[in-house]
Amino acid sequence: MSLDRAPLLSGIADPESMHRLIDQAETVLRTWQPSWSPFLSGPELEDSRRLESLTELRLVRDGGRPGTERCRLQLSRSDQELQPELTPISGLRLEGNFLFDRAEPEDMRQALIDLGVTADGIGDLWLRGDRGAQAVCTPDAADHLNGQTGRVREVTLTLEAVSIDSLQWPAQRLPKRFISVEASRRLDAIASAGFGLSRSKVTRQIREGRLRLNWHPVRQASRDLNIGDRLQLQDRGSVEVLNLELTKRDRWRVEMLRR
């Protein structure tokens, strides 16, 4: 079965990822066999909503628990009875002594990739203080990484595959409204206040393509934001600009919602 790709791909930020999902959907519709995608990022999941327009297709997301940023997507025919099925997701512990060399989530994620797994084999990843991190991943990635050792700069990282039930999930991020006064409406200034990061770290996130504006890659730190704009940062959630007001001292009072 061939799907009409033009409307599904129009305006998509990552056509290559969407092409793979459409290939998968065509196989599912032709064979009547449900299928799971790799882990998809927030922007890829947003793009995948285009497939919801196909009445013959059913989509189910799962990242290990509600509210996860990265999820696997199950595709099945909508005219088949929905069968309860365990999502093919495994847990992973990443242990090391980071007391004197704090790591960021992207450092841990890159260490796993350096050991031979693909980025789409890794779901959400969160830090565990100075002891390392935990993550969800595909069973294949868990099998490959189990027992291996990696490095984050000078710190040795020990990896252990575990069950989902044994993970110590981070506290779910509650929506938080707050106000910050900034010298400008620049993206880097508002992102710094919104995510609680230094301007230099925000600039690095922009340069490395991790910060997105309204689900699209952004490369201009100096770009002015407007009311309704949303910033997404991998492993750190999102920030929405609720209101912008110029003060008497020509500074910007920015009201934000962080999720």
Give the orientation angle of helix 199-207 with respect to helix 187-195, to 10 degrees: 110
**CA dihedral (152, 155, 158, 162) positive or negative:** negative
* Angle of CA points 55, 60, 61, to nearest 5°: 140
Any idea how long the chain is? 259
CATH number, domain at 147? 3.30.70.330
Q: What global pTM score does this model have?
A: 0.78
Residue 68, token pair as written in the block: 């996860």
Averaged pLDDT, 184-199:
93
Of the given ranges (25-29, 41-45, 153-157), which has the lowest mean pLDDT? 41-45
Residue 205, token pair as written in the block: 């996130």
User: For all residues of the chain together, what is the average pLDDT?
Assistant: 92
Which pLDDT belongs to residue 147? 97
12 pLDDT more than 90:
no
Of residues 231 and 207, more confidence is placed in 231
229 pLDDT more than 90:
yes
Which pLDDT belongs to residue 75? 95
Q: 237 φ, ψ to 5°?
A: 80, -150
Which pLDDT belongs to residue 99? 92
Which pLDDT belongs to residue 56? 94
Q: Are residues 230 and 181 part of one domain?
A: yes
Which pLDDT belongs to residue 83? 66
CATH number, domain at 36? 3.30.1370.160
DSSP state of 186: B
Residue 248 counted as domain residue: yes
Last residue of a domain, one of 14, 43, 77: 77
Which pLDDT belongs to residue 76? 94
pLDDT one-digit tens code per residue, 78-111: 988 776 667 899 999 999 999 999 898 989 999 9
Last residue of a domain, one of 166, 184, 206: 166
145 lies in which domain range?
A: 90-166
Q: Are residues 208 and 154 part of one domain?
A: no
Helix (H) or strand (E) holding 255: strand 252-258
Q: Are strands 230-233 and 71-77 parallel, antiparallel or unpaired?
A: unpaired
pLDDT range class, residue 42, cuts 50, 70, 90 = confident
DSSP state of 67: T
Residue 140 counted as domain residue: yes
46 pLDDT more than 90:
no
228 pLDDT more than 70:
yes
Residue 39 counted as domain residue: yes
Residue 117 counted as domain residue: yes
Residue 171, token pair as written in the block: 């506290």
C-alpha to C-alpha distance for 233 and 134, rounded to whole angstroms:
19
C-alpha to C-alpha distance for 31 and 25, rounded to whole angstroms:
10
C-alpha to C-alpha distance for 174 and 177, rounded to whole angstroms:
10
Domain count, the chain: 3
Averaged pLDDT, 127-136:
95
